[in-house]
Structure 1
Amino acid sequence: MAGDSKAQQVGDSAALAVLARAGLIAYGVVHLLIGWLALQIAWGAASKSADSSGALGTVADQPFGKILLCLVAVGLVALALWQASETIWGYRNCEGAERVRKQVTSGAKAVFYSALGGSAASVALGLGSWGSQSQQQTTSGVLAWPGGWVIVVVIGLITIGVGVAGVVKGVKKSFSEEIDTSSMSPVARKGVARLGQVGYIAKGVALGVVGGLLSYATLTFEQQKAPGLDGALHAILAQTFGRFLLTAVALGFLAFGLFALLGSRYRRM
Structure 2
Amino acid sequence: MAFSAISSTISSSRPEWVQRFARFGLAAKGIVYCLVGILAFMAAFELGGNSEQNLNKQDIFRFILQQPFGQVLLALVAIGLVCYALWRLTQAIMDTEQKGTDAKGIARRIGYAFSGLVYGSLAFYAAKMVLGSSSGSGGGNSRQTLARKLLEQPFGQWLAGAVALGIIGVGIYQIYRAYSEKYLKKIQSSRLPSDKQHLLIQTGKIGYTARGIVWGIIGFLFMKAAINANAQEAGGSSSAFVFLENSSYGSFLLGAVAIGLLCYGIFMFVRAKAEVINT
- Regarding TM over 0.5, the answer is yes
Give the deviation of 1:129 after TM superposition.
Answer: 4.1
Q: What letter is aligned with 2:34?
A: L
1:204 aligns with 2:207: no
Deviations 1:22-59 (A, max 9, x none): 11111111111111121122112314612112211111
* Residues in 2 aligned to 1:25 and 1:144: alpha-carbon distance in whole angstroms: 39
Q: CA contact under 8 A between 1:37 and 1:49: conserved in structure 2?
A: no
Greater Cα offset, 106-115 or 246-255: 106-115
Greater Cα offset, 33-42 or 253-262: 33-42
Deviations 1:122-180 (A, max 9, x none): 33232334413354344324433333333332222211111110011011110101322
Contiguous gaps of at least 5 residues in structure 1: none
Alignment equivalent of 2:134, drawn from 127, 145, 163:
127
Residue 2 to residue 212, structure 1, CA distance change in 2 (3 Å): closer
Give the deviation of 1:91 after TM superposition.
Answer: 4.5
- The SS at the match of 1:182 is helix
Residue 129 to residue 172, structure 1, CA distance change in 2 (3 Å): farther
* Equivalent residue, structure 2, for 1:83: 88
* Residues in 2 aligned to 1:57 and 1:135: alpha-carbon distance in whole angstroms: 20
* Equivalent residue, structure 1, for 2:66: 61
Contiguous gaps of at least 5 residues in structure 2: none
Give the deviation of 1:107 after TM superposition.
Answer: 2.1
Alignment equivalent of 1:46, drawn from 43, 47, 50:
50
* Residues in 1 aligned to 2:30 and 2:192: alpha-carbon distance in whole angstroms: 20
Give the deviation of 1:184 after TM superposition.
Answer: 3.1
* Residues in 2 aligned to 1:116 and 1:65: alpha-carbon distance in whole angstroms: 17
Aligned residues: 268
Residue 9 to residue 73, structure 1, CA distance change in 2 (3 Å): farther
* Equivalent residue, structure 2, for 1:19: 21
Q: What letter is aligned with 1:5?
A: S
Q: What letter is aligned with 1:56?
A: F
Q: CA contact under 8 A between 1:91 and 1:102: conserved in structure 2?
A: no
* Residues in 2 aligned to 1:214 and 1:2: alpha-carbon distance in whole angstroms: 39
- The SS at the match of 2:189 is coil
Percent identity (aligned): 28
Give the deviation of 1:207 after TM superposition.
Answer: 0.7
